[in-house]
Amino acid sequence: MLHNIRTGCKTIDEILEGGIPNRKVSLIYGEAETGKTTLAMQCALNCARQKYKTLFVDCDGTFSAQRLSQIALKEFKDISELIILMKPNDFSEQTIVIDRLTDYITKSFGLVVIDTLTSLYRAEIAEYPEKTFNLNRELNRQMACLAQIAKTHKIVVLTTSQVRSVFNEALVSIEPVATRVLRFWADIIIAMKPTENPQIIRAILEKNPKKVLPATCHLKIEETGIHECLIH
């Protein structure tokens, strides 16, 4: 059984004693372009290096094979065979994907990525604000399902969520609910905060079952992926 999946960011992997743990749900959240998808791709790559498959649920339609090849380099061909991509088009398709996860996940799978868990939910609320209550309940149910699958199928579940620094009226009411739901279910939470330099991200391990205190490090987004860097 796979125990952990390294993110490729040294401090985070060290504190997590080897990377994102199995049987748990982890959350990476942050503003746009803070490297959430890149970090999730690195996890898929490190999962493939342990010879386990990844089911990558691309809810944003932003998964790029070209980006993966920049990160995987020579390993790209072998790695890409171990990453299975699914692209739900709306929140009801996302619901179906999550409900049927146990049909797809065999013993050869080590990781399920849901990137971005809240984008189709948000689009649905924007179109049908009167359904907000039911959609919140459905989001909560999906997280509960993921937590259950992580435990019973002994896999790593990694979710991402986008937060916005500037709120519009609709988001003021939905954002806190979605955040509360995700925070409740996630065992590990990594916040990605932009800095003055768009290439440098401050990553904060906010929730971690082993250590209470939040830990911070700086990451640099480059052609080869997202890696730790020292800031003086």
35 in helix, strand or coil?
Answer: coil
Q: Is 162 in the site for ligand ATP (CB under 6 A)?
A: yes
Binding-residue pattern over the window 88 to 127 for ligand ATP, x denoting contact by CB under 6 A:
----------------------------x-----------
Q: Which is nearer to ligand ATP, 47 or 105 (CB)?
A: 47
DSSP state of 213: S
Q: Is 38 in the site for ligand ATP (CB under 6 A)?
A: yes
> What token pair was written down for 93?
């398709």
Helix pair 65-72, 36-49: axis angle to 10 deg: 60
Contacting residue, 6, 36, 53, 153, with ligand ATP by CB under 6 A: 36
Q: Is 221 in the site for ligand ATP (CB under 6 A)?
A: yes
Q: Which is nearer to ligand ATP, 35 or 153 (CB)?
A: 35
Contacting residue, 8, 19, 21, 35, with ligand ATP by CB under 6 A: 35
- Count Cβ atoms below 10 Å from residue 144 Cβ, excluding itself: 14
What is the C-alpha to C-alpha distance for residues 127 and 104, in angstroms, rounded to an integer?
30
Contacting residue, 165, 223, 230, 232, with ligand ATP by CB under 6 A: 223
Residues that bind Mg ion (CB under 5 A): 36-37
DSSP state of 24: S
Residues β-bridged to residue 26:
158, 188
